[in-house]
Homo-oligomer: A and B are copies of this chain.
Amino acid sequence: MHSFQPLSEHDPFACSAHDHRRCQHDALAAAEDACRREGVRLTPIRKRVLELVWASHQPVGAYALLEQLAVDGHRPAPPTVYRALEFLLEQGLVHRIDSLNAFVGCTHPGERHRSLFLICRACGRAQELAAAPIEQVITTEAQRHGFALEKLTLEAVGLCHSCSGS
């Protein structure tokens, strides 16, 4: 078993310039570790859903996942995949992109963090960035209004460096 490479500095927009099987493999290995540490079960379905989410860096919808699962021969109903996604969300293994109704693998599982997503409207890929500095500004601003912040949705849509032609 090779040492797990934290996915932090990965650029999903560097299209063909990266070995994506490595991303997927590392993410699954990290998930196994995380679930073992937490004492929760990464069942075959949950693992398969996570694997499918990590099939690309493009956020993927629940029904697209269902179609992929159908290819395996399973043909589960919607609740099955939603339950798997709920589990993965709770364990911090995937994120939900509200503006797309879609899900994407978390690049920092295990670390407590908030994220900012850069979503390319051309290639559909999303990059997760640590939102710590922004979080600080927003928390302060919220407090100024007596607001106790719990959840944060930070999503930017635009063009990535590959798609803007530069």
| Residues in chain A within 8 A of chain B (CB atoms) | 11, 13, 98-99, 116, 118, 120-121, 127, 129, 133-134, 137-138, 141-142, 145-161, 164, 166
Number of copies: 2
B156 touching A151, Cβ below 8 Å: yes
- How many angstroms between the C-alpha atoms of A150 and B156 in the bound complex? 7
How far is the CB of A35 from the nearest CB of chain B, in Å? Answer: 27
Give 30 pairs: A residue, B residue, CB < 8 Å, sorted on A.
Answer: A11-B145, A98-B153, A98-B155, A116-B138, A118-B142, A118-B147, A118-B149, A127-B147, A129-B145, A137-B137, A142-B156, A142-B158, A146-B160, A146-B164, A147-B156, A147-B158, A148-B158, A148-B159, A149-B156, A149-B158, A150-B157, A150-B158, A151-B156, A151-B158, A152-B155, A152-B157, A153-B153, A153-B154, A153-B156, A154-B154
